Chain A
């Protein structure tokens, strides 16, 4: 506090998830039921720690698609397009498309998947065979930056290469590069920088013990 008060550089935060802190945050926010869900997630992470990448992608995708019920943000959080942290998503047991993507993104990063291979992608989705289109978000896995990504989606249970997803039109993608300096795990987040949704959710994740 003193150094911050004198305007000196804040000390870098330690990276990686802090399980004790997450449990404490969860207990406060969602009680025992939430902690149970969190413990399941920890177990998943422990099981997948040494698995191959395909298994990791599949199991993480399946875990969240199975456990989280899809709802619109306005019903879940009372706010349009609220971006929840994985803790909040797990605690609620339900979430929006971006909540799935964020939770999967964080899980995979925790399992050691390099951050620059994962990108959250805004897509234009046609639901079923109808002509109804909807704004949607999926998580893409890029083997190399120039490669075609694998898509982790909550609408379909399996992981497919992007070219097979003719129902989706990509619009724009982003990840946490730039939020963490030079691809390192050190946070550069600043109170001022939480103005955007993405930064805000990253900031909350830090507070809850993810990063």
Chain B
């Protein structure tokens, strides 16, 4: 039996005991008191009547009248006058029925009162004995009334004490449940912290568990730094701390295959011309410093435009991937400005040609890189800071002008978005939620995000799209009853209107909100921790789960991570790609899983390509996976 049930049982039994006990004591003491009263009344009335009779002539009529008068005007069951031999001289007997209280009550309680006796004198002799009994109906009535009053008061007192008990139980139950949850979580290697409850015993327990969690997390924090260092060593160029060629290209490939907002953006290439000469003239150290400066400048540029990545493709070529950035011209100017600043430090020696192009879902990596290479060669010919922008071929575009796009998108959003369904399964093969990328109907056909997202960004309509997607997801989950995940665009987070409309939308669908999983890229949370945490707080109170996508080992460095209450992380696909063959990535992921679990966060792999990969990931401690490798298992494939 649970502690709470025992508590309730005790309270109820105590209340019943108190009620029955006090009722018994009250009735028996009242009965005793009433019996005494009746006895005194019997005796006094008998004496008074006998005294009157003693003073009168012993005329039978007068005696009868006196007795009758007393009987008729009072409350008596019996008055009789017997002579010294015991023969009845005069007698009046009344009705004994008691109709003012229920029969069961009268039968339950018996009054034991002797009749009042007094002797009537006739001179010195005794004329007779007067025997008098009072009626008990009033006694029953008063006893019944007092029992009812007591029961009434007790009902009130009982109700108040039950309310009080309910309050007490509630104040105990809530922290108790938290303690149990925390203890269970620790049992499952999730070292979560709980708020300390006010109940002293529980507080000490929670404090101890919190200390344990803190120690474990401290250990894991140090571990995560090591993991991050490991990741950098694996993926980064040692001189400039940018991504090495292979990881960068992998990242590009993942982006091109993505269904989310990252599926399109800007790809740029920058070349440090005549690097060999510079190396000769400036020396090795200064050349390295120059490269580091360039890399830093490019990273700043990418950060200012979202969560871009910088990679060093070879000794002299740098690449920049900025998802969701579609203003090639603007970016190009920004880039040129930065390169100018850098070039001016080194005089005419340095040439920094650059080329930019737009990428979007479905394009091949090779084509993109080849066209950029060509453009870069052209830019080199333009001069020191030559720049070529490769316009994407418009023939594949659905519409040609901004206005057409805007009209078409607005119309499509009004018609409503369609959500594709990709299952995210846990280790048991059960559904965690559906990943639901949006589709829009343009020119009579449903198109994936890659087609319209560039224009959504360009036309600043991501708020509308996100709200439409959330509304569609709420509808969907209301019908299917299954959990559903929606990618939010990073721009929406910066839009106050989006947040407030999202809240009111969720508030209108509390049931659906509890099955909604919302996610944002990790880089957004790193850059804007306050905005992110306030969004987390708001939506979590409405039952939503918040998560991060494209998470790397950096997630441990998010400010106030343990208080965000994140529900899940989706690991950046570049970390989980070909996991079977990457020993280092395996230890990285194992560490991340432990770290995430210590905070009570689920950790999910994206883009898992095979069943063996999925199995390897689960063995490393990941809680879920999505991608073609998982979908093959699941029969729940939709889309």
Contact = CB atoms under 8 A, between A and B. Distances in A.
B50 A172 contact: yes
A142 B84 CA distance: 11
A79 interface: no
A145 interface: yes
Given A7-B29, A172-B51, A181-B114, A147 B125 contact: yes
B121 A173 contact: yes
Nearest to A195: B40
B119 A119 contact: yes
A190 B125 CA distance: 31
A170 B121 contact: yes
Contacts of B32: 7
A7 B25 contact: yes
A171 B29 CA distance: 39
A64 B85 CA distance: 33
Given A6-B25, A119-B119, A144-B84, A172 B54 contact: yes
A91 interface: no
A6 B29 CA distance: 8
B114 A182 contact: yes
Interface bracket on B: 20 to 34
A192 B40 contact: yes
Contacts of B124: 121, 140, 148-149, 162-163, 170
Interface string B25-61: 1001100110011011001000100110011000000
A193 interface: yes
B117 A178 contact: yes
B116 A178 contact: yes
Contacts of B119: 119, 173-174
Given A7-B25, A195-B40, A174 B126 contact: no
Contact of A178 (B29, B33, B43, B126): B43
Contacts of A121: 121, 124
B330 interface: no
Contacts of A178: 43, 114, 116-118
B40 A193 contact: yes
Contacts of A6: 25, 28
A177 interface: yes
A142 B122 CA distance: 14
A188 B43 CA distance: 13
Contacts of B40: 192-193, 195
A146 interface: yes
Contact of B28 (A7, A149, A162, A177): A7
B84 A145 contact: yes
B187 interface: no
A192 B47 contact: no
Nearest to B117: A178
B43 A146 contact: no
B80 to A, nearest CB: 15
Interface bracket on A: 20 to 34
A19 B83 CA distance: 38
Interface in A137-178: 140, 142, 144-149, 162-163, 170-174, 177-178
A185 to B, nearest CB: 15
B45 to A, nearest CB: 12
A173 B125 CA distance: 10
B117 to A, nearest CB: 5
Contacts of B39: 188, 190, 193
B146 to A, nearest CB: 14
A188 B112 CA distance: 12
Contacts of B43: 178
A121 B121 CA distance: 10
Contacts of B83: 146
Contacts of B29: 7
Given A172-B51, A193-B39, A177 B117 contact: yes
Contacts of B444: none
B283 interface: no
B341 interface: no
A101 B572 CA distance: 116
A182 B85 CA distance: 16
A110 B499 CA distance: 103
Interface string A121-147: 100000000000000000010101111
Contacts of B24: 7
B126 A171 contact: no
B168 to A, nearest CB: 31
A170 B114 contact: no
Given A7-B25, A7-B29, A173-B121, A146 B126 contact: yes
Given A147-B125, A162-B124, A174 B118 contact: yes
Contacts of A7: 24-25, 28-29, 32
B524 to A, nearest CB: 75
Contacts of B36: 190, 192-193
B347 interface: no
Contacts of B50: 172
Contact of B114 (A147, A149, A188): A188
Nearest to B53: A172
Given A192-B40, A195-B40, A146 B123 contact: no
A173 B28 CA distance: 35
A145 B122 CA distance: 12
Contacts of A177: 117
A147 B28 CA distance: 44
Nearest to A175: B119
A171 B121 contact: yes
Contact of A174 (B47, B55, B123): B47
B218 to A, nearest CB: 64
Contacts of A146: 83-85, 125-126
A121 B51 CA distance: 12
Interface string A185-202: 000101011010000000
A119 B24 CA distance: 42
A170 B119 CA distance: 13
A115 to B, nearest CB: 13
A140 B25 CA distance: 45
A44 B28 CA distance: 46
In this complex, which of B29, B55, B85, B119 has the most chain A Cβ atoms within 10 angstroms of its Cβ? B119
Contacts of A195: 40
A74 B28 CA distance: 42
A174 B85 CA distance: 18
Nearest to B131: A178
A173 B123 CA distance: 10
B32 to A, nearest CB: 6
Contacts of B123: 170
A142 to B, nearest CB: 7
* 10 nearest CB pairs, A to B: A145-B84, A7-B28, A162-B124, A146-B84, A192-B36, A178-B117, A7-B29, A145-B126, A172-B51, A172-B54
Given A149-B124, A162-B124, 20 more contacts: A7-B24, A119-B126, A144-B84, A145-B85, A146-B126, A147-B125, A149-B125, A170-B121, A170-B123, A171-B54, A171-B121, A173-B126, A174-B119, A177-B117, A178-B117, A178-B118, A188-B39, A192-B36, A192-B37, A193-B36
9 contacts: A119-B119, A142-B126, A148-B124, A162-B124, A172-B50, A172-B51, A172-B54, A178-B114, A193-B40
